[in-house]
Amino acid sequence: MENVKIYLHNYLLMMIITDLQYFGTLSFFNTILKQEKVYFDNNHPFSKMSFKNRMVIATAQGPLHLSIPIVGGRDQKTALKDIQIAYASPWHEQHYKALVSNYQRSPFFEYYQDELKNLYASKPIFLMDFLMSAHEWTKKQIKGKWDIVAKIDTEIIERNFDPWLPKNYDQFPKPIKYQQVFEDKTGFLPNLSILDLLFNCGGKQTNQLLMSF
């Protein structure tokens, strides 16, 4: 029995429970990249003004928040696994066009463009399905080695609440620095979506930079 407890303790030390983000921030992936196992709590209630359906990218005018509209509005407390995407407006086309418009001149955008176009062309019913597809794609690009755990007793491990939200993401201390597309116009914009780092630095360097801070 004691051996079982030790194994369970060590197993939990290698794991993090957190929320799934829409092409999450650099601080989010900095945390994820250093884990061996990750469990995304899709039973946790949806919360407005979070990165569950929002990401921030760079533009010549400064940071731009892109949000995925959801059925029932953002004030609901429905479990994330039950949240459905609203397609009354062509948000998926708009988001992809925003990426093309703002990053087409970045060094590595062309390497990811076609796959991202296909990702945005899909129209899953549930938000969780789209977020997981985006996460798996990102994991592949940065050669992430963490395993995604499908099921766990959430009562025996503490959730990790990411304190960096759309209202304060740019206050992340000691942000990773790299050359951004519009840096000469806007100054450096910290802790943006992982896509910003990927487009500017490529997958290999993204991995190295995230592991270094």
What is residue 6's predicted lDDT score, i.e. its pLDDT? 36
What is residue 166's predicted lDDT score, i.e. its pLDDT? 87
Distances (CA, A) of 147 to 15, 34, 83, 139: 9, 11, 24, 10
Structure tokens at 140: 């592949």
pLDDT over 70 (residue 106): yes
Q: Do the beta carbons of residue 25 and residue 193 sit within 8 Å?
A: yes
pLDDT over 50 (residue 10): no
Q: Which of 5-9, 69-73, 171-175, 209-213 has the lowest mean pLDDT?
A: 5-9
Interatomic CA distance for residues 194 and 24, integer angstroms = 6
Distances (CA, A) of 132 to 22, 58, 80, 177, 189: 9, 23, 12, 27, 26
Overall pTM > 0.85: yes
Give the start-to-end residue ranges of the domains of the chain: 2-211
Amino acid at 24: G
Interatomic CA distance for residues 50 and 158, integer angstroms = 20
Work out the angle at residue 192's Cα, subtended by the Cα atoms of residues 81 and 117, and round it to the nearest 5 degrees: 65
What does 102-164 look like in DSSP terms, one character per residue? Answer: HHTTSTTHHHHHHHHHHHHH---SBHHHHHHHHHHHHHHHTT--PEEPS---GGGS-B-----
